[in-house]
Chain A
Amino acid sequence: MSGETKSKNSGKLLTEGMLLNRMTNRIRQSLELHEILSATVGEVRSFLGTDRVKVYRFDRDGSGQVIAESIGQNRLPSLLGLHFPATDIPPHIREMFVKARVRSIVDVPAQRITFSHLDSLEANGDLTVEDIRQRPIEEILQRSVDPCHIEYLTAMGVNSSLVVPIFHGKELWGLLASHHAEPKVFSASDLHIVQMVADQVSVAIAHSRLLSSARSAARREALINQISTLLHTPLNIQQILQGVLEKIVAAIGGAGGRLYLNPMETSSGPELYTTGTLPKLSGESGESDWLEYHPFWQHLMLQATLPVQATDGWGEKPLERSPKEAAAPVRAIDDLYQQPRLAQVAFAFRHTPIRGMLVMPLRYSQQSLGCLTLFRSEIDTDILWAGRFDPDQRNAKVRQSFDAWREFKRGCAHPWTEEEIELVEGAGTHLSMAVMQNRLYQWEREHRLLVEMRNQELQAARAAADEASRLKSDFLSSTSHELRTPLASTLNYLKLLKEGFYDSEEEFKEYIHIAHQSAENLVAIINDVLDIAKIEAGRMSVSPERVLLAPLIEEQRRLFNLDSRRKGIPLTVECEVESVWADKVKLRQILTNLLSNAFKFTSAGAVRVRAVQRLGGEPAAPLPPVVDISVTDTGIGIDPSKTELLFEPFVQADGSIKRRYGGTGLGLTVCKRLVKLMGGEIWLESAGEGEGTTVTFTLPYRASPNDFDTLKAQGEISP
């Protein structure tokens, strides 16, 4: 090796070292990939001394874009920002870049391509692609250049090229390419350096990815913080949920969103919150119109409640997104018009710009809470292609011009990114927890209320039972007290008779009479008490039938004829009703009781029995007709405020009345209960003390079952 070569080599070595150092420093200094790449292409071009060095990045669909470029002396046109279709670098070439990690050096005039593989080729050793593996490696590395490629490069004005793949992990991220207008030979060390630069770029890409994922994590965290803050504000849950929904929609740049919550077990119905642009199933806004009732949503919500699933149950591949799927089966739809499951509802989106959709079933544990649906509008894209190309014509004719050609596409789907999906997942999870928390809180509160209500009911029931028990023992006590008086009287007079303590025949008869009267009074009380006890125990049965009223009242009139004549109080009868629906025996008992009271408490005037028919119910809402039977007297009357009391056992308006007028004190009590048993009502009216009394009771009028209708048809009943 000559000295000159040596110094040249050492100079070159120095340059190489400096280049790598600078590259490394740049990568360390900046986290912005764009800056690093711009610097890289500049450094590499000056190192290689070629006309153009560019970084070409592959897009998902295999097409790519020149994202960094350095051009020297304008010997080649700029390609920066231009896109190249996927067909320009066909899959087998990309595969070769991946599998063999080749760098190609094309000497266009010599029509020779050199693939110089790296050391990693053997180590990597995964030439799994069939057509590559089956061919001897030498053949791959030394095969001649595709004439088409030669033509392609020539059309670009390139006579020699050097291409080094850039990897991110195992994935082919892009290419570092050098173009030169003249044929150029690269030394092995040059290639080595460029390869090392490409490796540094890989590191930079990794850093950049980390950065952007850290940034999106930060963004996610910020959103979740905002949501958490909202969730803990003292607003009501409706306001909070609306706010959260709006925040999520804004965070992903959505067009609109819906938050549907299942009905709670205890609450009335489902809830829906909406914001922004929404599809419309029909003009109506009712619940039946809700998207969430469509099978697509129903299925997702149901699915969310099932344990981890392998497929989505439709025989389709779950989302391309893997392990988190089971945890939160967010369904990301880039283009809803391409989704067969949505074909039925697609029309609802026609009038909207919506094209993408993100659906996240909300759940807590295995319980489905509802569904968060976010919409995203289609976008118009604007791509600068390197030359107008026609995929069908491409193979026939190589593009002769690489002048920028602007492609403008309307209505493109705007694909959801991993970051966005994760963002929604995070937010949705928080939302689920908040909703669940609120539900648990509400459930707990309702439950507590329910328990309180039940306690109150129990207390009321206990109070009622206590009251009933008290009334019963009061009744027993009163009864025993009331029985003692006639009993004492009977015993007294019997004793007087037994001891012979009478001075005359007259006195003897009087004593017998009083004893007998007292004993009868005792029996009357006992009978009434037994009646009440029977009714209370539910053992008093009534057998209602059609009872002709006039004969029954006439019978009563005869019964009270003696009282009427003795006291000089006429008994008048006005019976305008033919029949009532009643138990004849009970009705007789009631009438006897009321008439006996009337004569008992009247010293002058008249007693009148009246029976009239009227419509039941309110005038506006008539019920079947009833019969009012009233007994009116001109007797002692009663303070109107005390009328209700009279139906209580052993109560008379004035305690002294009983002594003066006798009676069991149970008559009205028995009447009230009997009337009730026959489906009627009873009440007492009086204008006041000394103003007389009217007791009225109602009974159903039912001569025959169809009477009501018949009478109505005949127009005999008018409200």
Chain B
Amino acid sequence: MGRKLLLDKAHVENIRTYDVYRREGGYRSVEKALKSMSPDAIVEEVKKSGLRGRGGAGFPTGMKWTFIAKPEGVPRHLVVNADESEPGTFKDRYLMEFIPHLLIEGMIVSSFALGSNVSYIYIRGEYAWIVDILEQAIAEAKQNGFLGKNILGTGFDCEIYVQRGAGAYICGEETALIESLEGKRGNPRIKPPFPAIKGAWERPTVVNNVETIAAVVPIINEGGDEYAKIGIGKSTGTKLISACGNINKPGVYEIDMTISVEEFIFSDDWCGGIKNGKRLKACIPGGSSVPILPANLLLTTAKGEKRLMNYESLSDGGFATGSMMGSGGFIVLDEDQCVVRNTYSLARFYRHESCGQCSPCREGTGWMEKILWKIETGNGKISDIDLLWDIQRKIEGNTICPLGDAAAWPVAAAIRHFRDEFEWHVLNADECLNKNYGLAHYADPIAVPQTV
């Protein structure tokens, strides 16, 4: 097992309390950063580390930080995205629940680097008990001089506030999140202007994922170069993966991005293999929005190489034969699972979560849900499969925010790789009500499609 940088201490008894966290070396990065580094030097370390945003898009964090505008006299803000609503994803919850001070520590350093004197954590409303945990950690940090006025005598002031959302996946999208923080409906904004120029209350704002900000702590403690030595290529450092579905050991794992997908699924160190002795059928490796892959393409790339658990390898082959790292929500389907039903369930999710501003997304998600339901319940036609394909093509790229793409991709990938399963549902209308199509993709690896 590789090194852990974030969850290493997560199970030390009482690590949630300031005293234990501090005794275990907590808040060292704040002392180092505030007392011996300039904000620019911190940004430089983060750049060197190669850290990529852990919220889903994988954008280099250091670079994002250099975009923040610094108009004279205008306050700037750091907002941590703890909305975590992408199906399959529950890693930020784990981090905040077990080691809340790590997030607070990372936020203080990041706030200093960005010049944010008031920073926010926007957390999904359902994580109500985690709000209490975070507020307790913030209060303790403040009592001990790590938050508030003149932190450690350095002249830097910083407050952190927690705001609860109220049940809306779209508020994870950064401009919708900002709207919500301002007390409005979560309708994404048209970009530009980007939040780094005009974000919350028209002030320059950086929105980063919980895990991204937590990773700043080891980066500052060990240096960006040391951090970059862990991992492979442009996948530096460690990544939290939340594994779920039909596996023996669901949970949150910190990996160093050098292990193979096969090892991750089957080794007892990680997922422990498929539940109930079944076989692996398919997997959605990075949260519900990323393309589903059949077992054969999941374990090896189209070039025949072992697929690894990192950004480059998971996306190898593009959407024709690959997928994405996304948010790290790893959803495994066993041989008994029905791809049509699973796709229907996700389509319903996106229809429910569409904010309704753009017609392709608002109407298209509803259509896809209805057609998938028809096929799943044995009322579909072969032409419905083509219609589905057509609808998803018309959504992708034609909307204000990426939720449209996120809704289109799962449907596209399901048809691309499991078209025969959709056809089987149409042709076996009675049987498909109580039986799934089954194993074919594992037993007989399918030919690699030539085109998208």
Partners in one complex: no
User: Taking beta carbons and an 8 Å cutoff, which residues of A are in contact with B?
Assistant: none
